[in-house]
């Protein structure tokens, strides 16, 4: 059973926790909106589809939001304990700081376990929904939005332009130009009319357009060469009224949430990623074996050519052998040898470039898998750092604690991205890259915890002034007292 003190500590912690989590989640969502805004514009999405997409994208950022929330909430809650002298009262009552941290450490451990299962079982499903939805939105042509005086290709298979659009519902148009986009195997058609009108079609999948007083320019040379088209005049047909139907079903009935992408590694759980990594290892080994064999064969070919008729295989003997050859023949041998070496170098550069995508993809898969675990441990490390710093600085609220937490998180993020880029380039083992940020911050968390348990005056300015006084004293001038007369 939880004691009254434990309930009070947990209640104090969850107050800022929920507030900070909401704020950070909103900030990350705004960032996603800013990045993805261009894909939403002109796509005919309704509000529900946009909200659903943002929710799918937002779920994936929880793995980064939760550790930062724990860091901020722990600094603020322990800072408030110190600012209200509650920590001092607890210590006076014989309650150690370790006893105060234990209930929140248990809460953090539970949150870490929940984050693991959330990242392993829920986030992959939402990643799949988000990526497929983004892909379908990108493939969707912009919704019908005609602008007067501009060529518009939103209607599938046509290029249109209207000089003026007016009326209560923008149904009347003047200066109509309609061109059917066709290949050399289709008849070319261009329609020009003085005016027209949009009329509601019986079938909603079609756009009905009635044109007045115009011409239809069309050739009947489908399948013939371009020269034939150039030599023959277009056929012009005058009309008083012409009705056109445009198929816009691709714009209206586009399945935004249809899942077309199913083989992305981010859609897999931890155990499924193990199988993907094993398969990728085998493919890489096979690829590297083939490349190595090709390089060795090419190298042996170059060496055999350069050592041809050279039994001794020493540079001096080779030079003597070249000296006995005529100048023209000597230049030909040297030139051919140079070309072979240059080709070998080019091949090596090409194979190196072939390595890079394999290494980068393998590193991405490994890092993504390991972060399912590593971010859970990050929560515990951030709690140790936050609780220790909060009890040392003894400041609550949104001032100093927020600044310190942001600085720590920025350091963690920079290390995280830096290690990731090194792993992608093949300079660092991806398993190490995923855990190195935690390995760097964990000793810092232990040191901070030790400092907090020993009541260290880590942020006491007077302590640092006293420590640096012997150094600053050397650079300061002695002031002598003068007697005023």
Give the integer Cα–Cα distance in Å for 403 and 327.
76
Q: Is the pLDDT confidence value at 201 over 50?
A: yes
Q: What is the pLDDT of residues 281-296, one digit of tens each?
A: 888 777 777 766 666 6
Q: What is the pLDDT of residues 419-453, one digit of tens each?
A: 988 888 888 899 999 999 999 999 988 888 888 88
What would the mean pLDDT of 266-272 be, rounded to a whole number? 87
- C-beta of residue 82 within 8 angstroms of C-beta of residue 100: no
Q: Which residues pair with 189 in a beta bridge?
A: 180, 218
Tell me the percentage of the chain whose pLDDT exceeds 90. Answer: 14
Question: 94-103, 145-154, 380-389: lowest mean pLDDT where?
Answer: 145-154
What would the mean pLDDT of 37-41 be, rounded to a whole number? 64
pLDDT at 64: 87
Give the integer Cα–Cα distance in Å for 4 and 117.
30
Q: How high does pLDDT run on average in the chain? A: 78
Bigger pLDDT: 182 or 18? Answer: 18
291 phi and psi angles, rounded to 5 deg: -65, -45
pLDDT at 312: 46
For the chain, what are the domain ranges?
4-140+369-459, 158-252
pLDDT at 295: 63
Q: Is the pLDDT confidence value at 112 over 90?
A: yes
Q: Is the pLDDT confidence value at 313 over 50?
A: no
pLDDT at 254: 58
- C-beta of residue 113 within 8 angstroms of C-beta of residue 66: no
Q: What is the pLDDT of residues 54-104, one digit of tens each?
A: 888 888 888 889 999 999 899 888 888 888 888 888 888 888 888 888 899
Q: Is the pLDDT confidence value at 306 over 70?
A: no
Tell me the percentage of the chain whose pLDDT exceeds 70. Answer: 70
Tell me the whole-structure pTM to 2 decimals: 0.66
What would the mean pLDDT of 270-284 be, rounded to a whole number? 86
């Amino acid at each position: 059973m939880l004691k009254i003190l434990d309930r009070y500590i947990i209640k104090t912690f969850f107050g800022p926790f929920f507030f900070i989590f909401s704020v950070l989640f909103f900030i990350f969502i705004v960032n996603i909106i800013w990045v993805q805004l261009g894909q939403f514009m002109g796509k005919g999405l309704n509000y529900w589809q946009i909200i659903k997409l943002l929710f799918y994208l937002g779920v994936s950022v929880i793995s980064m939001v939760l550790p930062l929330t724990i860091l901020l909430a722990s600094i603020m809650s322990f800072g408030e304990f110190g600012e209200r002298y509650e920590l001092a009262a607890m210590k006076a009552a014989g309650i150690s700081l370790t006893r105060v941290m234990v209930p929140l450490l248990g809460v953090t451990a539970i949150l870490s376990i929940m984050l693991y299962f959330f990242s392993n079982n829920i986030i992959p499903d939402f990643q799949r929904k988000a990526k497929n939805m983004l892909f379908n939105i990108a493939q969707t042509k912009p919704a019908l939005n005609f602008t007067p005086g501009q060529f518009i290709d939103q209607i599938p298979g046509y290029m249109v332009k209207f000089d003026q659009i007016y009326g209560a519902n923008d149904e009347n148009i003047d200066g109509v130009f309609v061109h059917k986009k066709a290949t050399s195997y289709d008849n070319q058609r261009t329609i020009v009319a003085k005016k027209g009108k949009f009329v509601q079609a019986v079938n909603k999948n079609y756009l009905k357009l009635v044109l007045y007083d115009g011409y239809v320019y069309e050739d009947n040379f489908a399948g013939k060469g371009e020269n034939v088209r150039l030599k023959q005049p277009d056929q012009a047909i005058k009309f008083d009224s012409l009705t056109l139907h445009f198929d816009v079903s691709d714009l209206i009935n586009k399945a935004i949430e249809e899942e077309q992408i199913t083989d992305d590694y981010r859609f897999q759980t931890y155990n499924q990623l193990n199988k993907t990594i094993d398969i990728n290892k085998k493919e890489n080994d096979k690829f590297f074996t083939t490349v190595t064999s090709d390089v060795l064969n090419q190298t042996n070919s170059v060496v055999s050519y350069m050592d041809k008729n050279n039994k001794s295989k020493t540079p001096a003997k080779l030079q003597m052998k070249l000296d006995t050859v005529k100048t023209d023949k000597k230049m030909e041998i040297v030139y051919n040898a140079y070309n072979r070496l240059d080709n070998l170098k080019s091949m090596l550069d090409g194979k190196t470039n072939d390595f890079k995508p394999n290494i980068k993809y393998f590193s991405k898969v490994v890092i993504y898998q390991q972060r399912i675990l590593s971010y859970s441990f990050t929560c515990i490390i951030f709690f140790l750092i936050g609780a220790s710093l909060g009890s040392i600085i003894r400041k609550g609220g949104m001032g100093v604690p927020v600044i310190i937490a942001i600085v720590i998180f920025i350091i963690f993020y920079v290390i995280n991205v830096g290690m990731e880029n090194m792993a992608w380039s093949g300079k660092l083992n991806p398993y190490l890259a995923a855990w190195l940020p935690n390995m760097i911050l964990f000793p810092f968390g232990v040191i901070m915890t030790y400092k907090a348990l020993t009541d260290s005056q880590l942020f006491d300015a007077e302590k640092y002034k006293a420590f640096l006084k012997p150094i600053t004293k050397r650079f300061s001038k002695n002031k002598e007292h003068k007697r005023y007369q």
